[in-house]
A and B are shown apart, each in its own frame.
Chain A
Amino acid sequence: AQSVTQLGSHVSVSEGALVLLRCNYSSSVPPYLFWYVQYPNQGLQLLLKYTTGATLVKGINGFEAEFKKSETSFHLTKPSAHMSDAAEYFCAVSDDSNYQLIWGAGTKLIIKP
């Protein structure tokens, strides 16, 4: 069965530094991969989504993710962190049998001034 691992429940970076949030899936290539973000006291919203085609996906707020089949990864990056990026980030992949979402545990991104 498919599973999703997000390495690091908390990641701390300085403002202006590179953001790297890691996501690995476990089994066969999922048809779709997603990153969602949850700002404090809000619901989740879509950052970006991979379907097919180009492996580098650009999302909102300067984030992007690269799908690497050989590494079963879909890591999220942003070249320069901003204070407003402080939030919890969730990686999710679709189950190829019923197209339900399999969610990672989430990573809280902390931005240091």
Chain B
Amino acid sequence: KAGVTQTPRYLIKTRGQQVTLSCSPISGHRSVSWYQQTPGQGLQFLFEYFSETQRNKGNFPGRFSGRQFSNSRSEMNVSTLELGDSALYLCASSLGRPGQETQYFGPGTRLLVL
């Protein structure tokens, strides 16, 4: 079975731009979660989607948004980029709720905002 894939793997943007990151979950997994990882803040939960609906949301500003498609693939969008958005963005998929089922993580998208 193919693992979780994320595209692109690396991205450089400038302040004020917007970015869209993509995640393809493991086949059959309906839950997709997004995380931001930085050296200073560690791993922070952004949001979780299940069957095209946002089921849970972390404490991030409205500039961060996401969606999930009928095939469970998910995208996250960050608008009006700030320097502090530079981070590794991780996507994870699971059969059910992240707190019950094993999450399978992609390799991440490393975003650098200049």
Contact = CB atoms under 8 A, between A and B. Distances in A.
B4 A101 contact: no
A98 B56 contact: yes
Contacts, number: 56
A103 to B, nearest CB: 5
B40 to A, nearest CB: 10
Interface stretch (A18-26, A37-45, A68-76, A77-85): A37-45
Interface residues of B, number: 20
A106 B39 CA distance: 10
Contact of B43 (A90, A93, A98): A90
A98 B44 CA distance: 17
Contacts of A103: 42-45
A47 B64 CA distance: 30
Contact of A100 (B90, B99, B107): B99
B102 interface: yes
A95 interface: yes
A112 B109 CA distance: 30
Given A100-B45, A105-B42, A106-B43, A46 B99 contact: no
A94 B99 contact: yes
Interface string B89-100: 010100001111
22 contacts: A32-B100, A36-B103, A36-B105, A43-B4, A43-B92, A43-B106, A44-B43, A44-B103, A44-B105, A45-B105, A90-B43, A94-B97, A94-B99, A95-B99, A98-B56, A98-B97, A99-B99, A99-B100, A100-B48, A100-B56, A101-B99, A103-B45
Interface of A: 31-32, 36, 41-46, 49, 90, 93-95, 98-101, 103, 105-106
The 3 closest A-B pairs by CB, nearest first: A94-B99, A43-B105, A99-B99
